Chains A and B, each alone.
Chain A
Amino acid sequence: MQNNEEEKQSKNKESSLKGLSFAYRISSELLAAMVVSVIIGLTLDKFFDSKPIGLITLIILGFFAGLLNIYRLIRRIENSK
């Protein structure tokens, strides 16, 4: 009985750890895509002297790129199950 309980607890702990690392991965994917797109946007604006337009378009694209990254991550995890 006690053994069972312990097993349950360790299993719970494991799944919450997995969730934590999963959350870190997802947030870092979204952040990274945003950082890259903002850098590209600002450089494009500096190059063509078109202050907000490049940044705005690249932020929108970067958001979608981040979502694409997350979608691929989740699909990979689903496939490995």
Chain B
Amino acid sequence: MAKGESPLKQFEIQPLVELNLFGQNISFTNSSLWMTITTIFILAFFTIPFLKSKKTNSVEDLYPSRLQVAAEMGFNFINNLITDTAGKEGRKYFPLVFSLFMFILFGNLFGMIPYSFTFTSHIIVTFGLALGVFIFVTVLGFIKHGLKFFSFFVIPGLPIYMLPLLIPIEVISYLSRPISLAVRLFANMLAGHTLLKVFAGFVSALGFFGILPLVFIVALTGLEILIAFLQAYVFAILTCLYINDALHLH
């Protein structure tokens, strides 16, 4: 980091290709670049190992390659997650949860590469994802239950005079889902990356004693990679829970 640069500079959006459509700025930015890289990487990660195994007919083909095992591990992980939280009916929505998980996971992990850009550290990206989940779950609830979906906001076995107070609370609690989902991922990523940069600034400022923050940064990088995984996992598990709520109501 050059002297005088703010630790927040890493989050700046820079247009790479200027584009305009009907007066709207739709430039291809560094954020879009890293989203594209993430998507292409995920596609490659899940197609290459399976393309290779079809070429010959030798015995070795019966053993999965390392890449294939890694891809299947990811598949199994989310598969178990959905079956555990949303039951068998939830398995239908596997593609949604899986692509969300992979996109966020690799977005977070690619953000850990120096000089790259972490698109999940922008609240509009995480909020867009969370809002997509929210709309999907609400529509799913209405499709499955029709107008009975509104009974989701009524806790069964409650005295009737409590309803005017508790229904607004339940509605607010329901509406707060996408925001809490978005804020959690965004705050984790923003805080972690800012902290890394702040401590990186200490290294050059302290001279010889800069070795102390340097050691800390190494530890912090490990922690950040763990958080990158953890946040993708939390996003996926909450999506599963919301799907479960929409399918079963209470």
Contact = CB atoms under 8 A, between A and B. Distances in A.
Contacts of A42: none
A3 to B, nearest CB: 21
B183 A32 contact: yes
A17 to B, nearest CB: 7
B173 interface: yes
Query: In the complex, which range does the number of interface residues on chain A fall in?
Result: 20 to 34
Contacts, number: 57
Contacts of B226: 17
Interface string B167-207: 01110110111011001100110000000000000000000
Interface string A25-46: 1001101110111001000000
Contacts of A29: 176, 180
A61 B169 contact: yes
B172 A62 contact: yes
Given A17-B226, A61-B168, A25 B184 contact: yes
Specify the main secondary structure of chain B where it touches its partner. helix
B230 A32 contact: no
Contacts of B180: 28-29, 31-33, 69
B223 interface: yes
Interface string B211-245: 00000000000010011001000100000000000
Given A24-B187, A32-B179, A33-B172, 17 more contacts: A17-B226, A24-B184, A25-B184, A28-B183, A28-B184, A31-B179, A33-B180, A35-B176, A35-B179, A58-B172, A61-B168, A61-B169, A65-B172, A68-B170, A69-B173, A69-B176, A69-B180
Interface of B: 168-170, 172-173, 175-177, 179-180, 183-184, 187-188, 223, 226-227, 230, 234
Closest 7 CB pairs of A and B: A32-B180, A32-B179, A65-B172, A32-B176, A28-B184, A65-B173, A33-B176
Interface of A: 17, 21, 24-25, 28-29, 31-33, 35-37, 40, 58, 61-62, 64-66, 68-69
